[in-house]
Structure 1
């Protein structure tokens, strides 16, 4: 961890904040290392059920790579593990919500894309700007599972930004809220998820990603396999029992 990444525990929820507001929360080496450490810490903590990723200030979620640092280091082809990308170079099995508080450009778009859910402030904007600076966006490949092909093509080829409302319309953002309501909305969603049976939540998350990589029949077979552990768990009995007894379930995650 570093001063560039803040890790704040709020009950069952962890808030991870990129803390370089004067540099529009650009991704430096310290940010990359700090994010990796934060996600590994979150994954290792069985009592932390949901994470929220956001940026400091009200202008930028993340403006992308620190181009000054990239110029100084003469960065060529980034190594595969250059960025801590959930589902690629970092293993996380629990839900992560992006709370986008300003611009999310280039690597900032990537950070929102890798999260499971996204809530944006009304003034937030999104862009994949690599074409404007001669860099690449191989990480955008999974984007086609989230938004329509021609919208994806326009974003990658033009590099032009879109508003939070447009991002919501194309299915990239789940909710758009006033800036003052961003963190309360993200926390409300996180707490709602954290209140559900943790094994079911993890399996449901895995099912969504499995189903994007296989056909219907294969996805159904995979789904039955993923949820077998859930059905055999203590929580699978606790849920109906709590309903019958008219009380809140006491989840054990086993």
Structure 2
């Protein structure tokens, strides 16, 4: 775990707070790994029903990937490294840049305060991971392209019109609004919510090439970190028959 991530449980709701305000909550390697591990623990806990992802401070939800310590971003993206079928809500206050927009798009619901701004600057800096293309499966075509190609700052109200945001709040009230949504879902039938989410994510939405790549990286990472791999290498070294356990 890292100091860059705070995890708090409120009843059946788990709140994940990106906690690098001095870096505009940019996601570095340690934070990406911590999010992946934290969400895995959340998913395994039957008492926890809904997750909220938010950022510390009022300057930024996140500046996206930390360019000084570029992470494997797939690790902390819902549907890729984060595999839970429980509902995930983004609660945004301040700037939401680059990979932050991908987080918002891949989450199930999104709340943003009026001072939030959504900016995708990669066309201006000459780099992209390709994950932003997922917007075209979640927003009307030309609205997705407006964010991706123009690189303009999009207000919370405009993001609401586009369908990227579900609710716009006054500054500082974004988390309470997200908690209200989470509280509604936390008392519903979790099996039904998981089934509905799985139907949409697995069968209704088109995945971008980068998402396919991210899922492949996730699956290969599972093999690479498995006990079976260690057992296989040990058996080869010891010249004996391996005893695999499927984990």
TM-score, with structure 1 as normaliser: 0.77
SS at match of 2:188: coil
Q: In the alignment, which of 80, 87, 91 is matched to residue 99 of structure 1?
A: 91
Please report the RMSD computed on the Cα atoms of aligned residues, expressed in angstroms: 1.7
What stretches of structure 1 of length at least 5 have no aligned partner? 71-77, 215-254
Q: Would you say 1:196 and 2:188 are equivalent positions?
A: yes
Q: CA deviation at 1:148?
A: 1.4
Task: Quote the offset at 1:213 in angstroms.
Answer: 4.5
Tell me the CA shift for residue 68 of structure 1.
Answer: 2.8
**Residues 149 and 213 from structure 1, CA distance in 2 versus in 1: closer, same or farther, beyond 3 angstroms?**
closer
- Number of corresponding residues: 206
Identify the range of structure 1 (205-214 vs 127-136) with the bigger mean alpha-carbon deviation: 205-214
Deviates more, 1:113-122 or 1:83-92: 83-92
Q: Which residue of 2 aligns with 1:32?
A: 32
2:123–2:151: 8 Å Cα contact kept in structure 1? yes
Which of these residues, 135, 140, 155, is aligned with residue 132 of structure 2? 140
Alignment partner, residue 232 of structure 1: none
User: Are residue 15 (structure 1) and residue 7 (structure 2) matched?
Assistant: no
Shift of residue 102, structure 1, vs aligned partner: 1.2
Q: How far apart are the structure 2 equivalents of 1:130 and 1:164? A: 20
Q: How far is the alpha carbon of 1:83 from its aligned partner?
A: 3.6
Q: Would you say the 8 A contact 2:99–2:132 is kept in 1?
A: no
162-171 or 21-30: bigger deviation:
21-30
Q: Secondary structure, in 3 states, of the residue corresponding to 1:203? A: helix
Query: Is the 1:62–1:108 contact (alpha carbons within 8 Å) kept by the matching residues of 2?
Result: yes
1:67 is displaced (CA, Å) by 2.0
- TM-score normalised by L of structure 2: 0.79
For 1:202 and 1:113, the matched residues in 2 are separated by 18
